[in-house]
Amino acid sequence: MVRTFLAIDLPAEQKKILEKIQNRWKSFRAGIRWVPPDRMHLTLKFLGDINTFQLKQVIDTTRNICSNHSSFNLSLGAAGVFPGTRRPRVLWIGLTGDTRDLILLHDHIEEHLAAIGFPPESRRYSPHLTMGRVRSSRQISRLIDAVYDEQIRSAPFQVSEVTIYESILTPESPVYTVLDRCPLACS
C-alpha cells in the first residue's frame, strides 16, 4: 500500500519567503510543530493508503486531467488559522491569483477520482499552505495576532504540473517521495 497525495509544488523563491515568515512566527516560541519550508506544498487531494493498481489508475487519471488544463499563476496570499482563533490547529498561508483555475483543477480531480472509487471530500476545498500545527496553547494568542498581521508580498509563480507524492510516516516527520509529475497544458 502507498500513502498517496496530490499536490502543487512551490518554487524556491516562494519557499524562501515562507521560511522568513515562519522565522518571524517562531520568535514567539509558541507550542507549534513547524513544517520545514522545503517540504511545503499545496495539497490538492489526500488519498491515503492505496494499492499499486489504484496508484496506476490515479496516475493515468491525473495525467489525463492535467493535459486538459492550462498552466496558471498563483501568488502567496493572506495568512490565517484553522479552524478558527478559539481552537487553532493549523497556521496557514493562502493563495491569490488564478484561484479559479486552481479550484477548477481541484474540482476536476475530485470528480474524476470519484469515478474510480475515491470519495470526494465533504468539506469545501480551502487551498492553503500549512506552516505549522498547534501542539499547545503556550504563547498562542500573541502568535495568532502576528499571523493575522502578516503582510505577504510575493511575485506570481507559474503552476505547470501536479505532483503525485508518497508520504511515509516516521516517528519524527513524514517523508515525501515524488511518484509522478503530471504536466499541465501550456497556457
**Given 57, 96, 158, 167, the residue binding ligand 2AM (CB under 6 A):** 167
CB 39 within 8 A of CB 126: no
Q: Does 43 bind ligand 2AM (CB under 6 A)?
A: yes
Q: Between the CA of residue 132 and those of 43, 79, 92, 179, what are the distances in Å?
A: 15, 12, 7, 25
Which distant-in-sequence residues (6+ apart) come within 8 Å of 100 by Cβ?
none
Choose, from 69, 106, 108, 128, the residue flagged as catalytic.
Answer: 128
179: contact with ligand 2AM by CB under 6 A: no
Contact with ligand 2AM (CB under 6 A) among 96, 130, 156, 180 = 130
Q: Is 128 considered catalytic here? A: yes
Classify residue 186 by its DSSP letter. P
Task: State the nearest-atom distance from the C-beta of 80 to ligand 2AM, in Å.
Answer: 12
Number of residues that bind ligand 2AM (CB under 6 A): 5
Among 28, 34, 46, 125, indicate the residue that binds ligand 2AM (CB under 6 A). Answer: 46
Could you confirm whether 106 is annotated as catalytic? no
The reply to whether 73 sits near ligand 2AM by the rule CB under 6 A is no
Answer positive or negative: Cα dihedral of 149, 90, 118, 64.
positive
Q: What is the rounded distance in angstroms from the CA atom of residue 159 to the CA atom of residue 29?
A: 34
Residue 5 contacts ligand 2AM per CB under 6 A:
yes
Grid cell listed for 23 = 522565522
Residue among 43 and 57 whose Cβ is closer to ligand 2AM: 43
**In 3D, which of 67, 10, 68 has the Cα closest to residue 35?**
10
Residues with a known catalytic role: 41, 128
Give the residues lining the site for ligand 2AM (CB under 6 A).
5, 43, 46, 130, 167
